[in-house]
Amino acid sequence: MTAFLLGIVSSLAASAIVLVLGLLRGSRPLWWLVTACSWLSGTGISRVYRHQSSAEQDIAHDLGRARWIKVLAGRGNILTSEVFAPLWSGELSPESVHVLLPDPRPRDDSWLDRRSHDVRRFDPGYTPDLLRNQVRANMAYLSRAARPPRDFELRSFNLPNTCRVIATDRVAYLTFYSSTAHGRNSPCLYARAPGLLYSIALQQFDTAWTNSSPALPATLP
């Protein structure tokens, strides 16, 4: 848990150079300046998308070139979208795909419920059961739709629901969730390998993976 939280703090510090330049977010003509700052600072940030959803076309492109794929998500809606459809249909065949989603089972120390509480402050429709059921539905979709590559595994975690990571052997897309907005409306950082932010994104995933458990049939609808 400590390593997970320290990783988040380190990530925020590493990306601060770009985030303070708010005018650069999501502006393609200025991505070259972001890349230049990244090269000088060693952070590895190449792009900053104003909204997470703006990165989907580029995510699909990078998935098509990936040797392996790792996804840590707070809900997992993107996994059931057209972005990942070629992966589940078998059109893409990376060596491994590892997916982490929050544990949707009711429990006293549920971090998913804590995230629901935060979201409910600005979106009253998000009850704990609604978010939990959405995660369950996405898990059920993957269990039925995925045509597993050489190594496919879906696991669940009960850790702070603070970010989304989509990583391949080449790049990482990292979104930090805000307590005042949906993840889809949060900025998304794009980091190339090797680089500091890319390494931190993998650290976030690996720490959660180490503290995860198999997605049991009991968690599905």
Over its length of 221 residues, how does the chain's per-residue pLDDT go in tens digits? 555 554 544 444 444 444 444 434 444 544 444 454 554 455 668 788 988 889 999 999 999 999 999 999 999 999 999 999 999 988 998 999 999 999 999 888 899 998 888 888 888 888 778 999 999 999 999 988 876 656 899 999 999 988 999 999 999 999 988 877 787 888 899 999 988 899 999 999 999 999 999 986 545 55
DSSP 3: H
Give yes or no for a contact between 15 and 169, defined as CB atoms under 8 angstroms apart: no
**pTM attached to this predicted model:** 0.81
CATH number of 52-187+196-207: 3.30.870
CA-based nearest residue to 163, from 120, 102, 82, 121: 102
